[in-house]
Structure formats: C-alpha cells, structure tokens
C-alpha cells in the first residue's frame, strides 16, 4: 500500500456520515434563527474545518462566523453580550 493509499484510507474512515453532517446543519439553522433577532442583520457563514471541508470524525466542533455591516451600532463587547444573552435564553450554548 502506498503512502497516498494509506492516507486516503484514513481520511475515508474520518468522514462524517450524512446524518452527522445534517445534525450540524440543523444546529446552525437553529442558532441562526435564534440570533436573527439581533439588530444590524448579521450574515452567517460556516467557519473552521466545516467551512473548509476538512472536518474529521475523531475531533470536531461547529464554528459559525457572523458578520455585521459597518453601519451596525454594536460595539465588539455589545455583540459579545447580545449573542451570549440570546444563546443563554435559548440554552443553545452552555457557558
């Protein structure tokens, strides 16, 4: 077995199932819906290994990136506080 074959086999074994990927997508939708109440109309993107399509089954998490337009009136600490308040209210995130 070549080095490439060996690596390809390991990567195949570390591929998340469709069910696992769908669960992550549903979690993103849930969090996005909860945070959509925030002022400024933030946009949501996948970040990290999910966004780069390099996620492995052995160890992964879901990184979501939110962008606010430059016209948003939130400060950085205001964004942090507002997001945290909404997630705590919905228990989507444990601090």
pLDDT score for 50: 95
Between these two residues, 79 and 93, which has the higher pLDDT value?
A: 79
The pLDDT-based confidence of 92 (bands split at 50, 70, 90) is low
Domains, in order of start, for the chain: 3-90 (3.30.460.10)
pLDDT score for 33: 94
First-residue to last-residue Cα distance in the chain: 46
Continuous segment of H or E residues that includes residue 3: helix 3-13
What's the pTM? Answer: 0.80
Cβ pair 32, 44 in contact under 8 A: yes
Q: Is 50 exceeded by the pLDDT of residue 95?
A: no
Cβ pair 42, 67 in contact under 8 A: yes
pLDDT single digits (tens) 19-65: 999 999 999 999 999 999 998 889 999 999 999 999 999 999 999 99
pLDDT single digits (tens) 57-79: 999 999 999 999 888 888 999 99
Listed residue (32, 92, 27, 38) closest to 69, CA to CA: 38
How confident is the model over 9-26, as a mean pLDDT?
A: 94
With 0-12 / 13-18 / 19 or more C-beta atoms within 10 angstroms meaning exposed / middle / buried, residue 12 is exposed
């Amino acid at each position: 077995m070549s080095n490439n074959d060996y690596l390809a086999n390991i990567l195949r074994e570390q591929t998340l199932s469709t069910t696992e990927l769908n669960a992550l997508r549903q979690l993103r939708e849930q969090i996005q819906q909860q945070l959509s109440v925030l002022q400024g109309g933030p946009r949501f993107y996948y970040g990290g290994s999910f966004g780069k399509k390099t996620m492995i089954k052995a160890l992964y998490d879901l990184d979501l990136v939110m962008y606010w337009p430059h016209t948003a009136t939130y400060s950085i600490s205001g964004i942090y506080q507002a997001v945290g308040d909404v997630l705590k209210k919905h228990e989507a995130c444990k601090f």
